Amino acid sequence: MTQDEVLASAFAMPLTSPAYPRPPFRFVDREFIIITYRTDPAALERVVPAPLKVAEPIVKYEFIRMPDSTGLGSYTESGQVIPVTFNGEAGSYTHAMYLDNLPGIAAGREILGFPKVLASPRLEVRNDSLVGTLDYNGVRVATATMAYKYHALDEAAVRKSLESPGYLLKIIPHVDGSARLCELVRYRAFDLTVKGAWAGPASLELHPHCLARVSQLPVLEVLSAVHVLADLSLGNGEVVHDYLHATA
């Protein structure tokens, strides 16, 4: 291949057989439960990077089933999202994500900086309950339950919450192991259709693990839970803060 041919085709690794296609990615019948819980404020301050600011001492724990994801296939995801503000605008910072799909891991990490790690999450209906579990190397680190379609929610309000900006810390190392990129990235979902949304009673347990450290943001009180079925797309983001070139 000539240099021009390399530049024309290079957008992901490996060069001649990329792990994922070019974005955007469309997610159809994306089903998730989001359990909002109160946690230790000091623990939040230790993991949220400036210039983001912690909005409240709460965390949103998510289990997401994605049966139809263009270019990525079918997979399940689980993780923690923290409500934050950036320059006074409300949004959310993705702290941890665990999933069972290599294209999803590679695309999420390389393009936008999603903190995706290989694990074994599961979301299923068991009689009258939704049950979410997360195992890391065979060890249970999270268990969630929620009453199934217990109380319908205003779908327009849920859609508005899903359209709020998300923030990610994208880190790309140099060949010597130092940071070549260290950026705060903002992204938004688009072409969003909420097909159903429900609230209901829920529970959440987080268990210690040396590498899947979700329990470092402990559950002090479960505040609410929502169950959502939606179609949405994710594409490009924007760099809103460059740590390597920021002035003190």
| Residues assigned a catalytic role | 116
Rounded to whole angstroms, the Cα distance separating 38 from 58 reads 4
For residues 115 and 122, the answer to whether their CB atoms sit within 8 Å is no
Beta-ladder partners of 169: 184
Cis amide leading into 24 (omega within 30): yes
Rounded to whole angstroms, the Cα distance separating 114 from 116 reads 6
For residues 34 and 62, the answer to whether their CB atoms sit within 8 Å is yes
What totals of helices (H) and strands (E) does the chain contain, helices first? 4, 16
Residue given tokens 């001649």 in the structure block: 16
- Taken in order 227, 23, 166, 182, the sign of the CA dihedral is positive
Rounded to whole angstroms, the Cα distance separating 213 from 220 reads 16
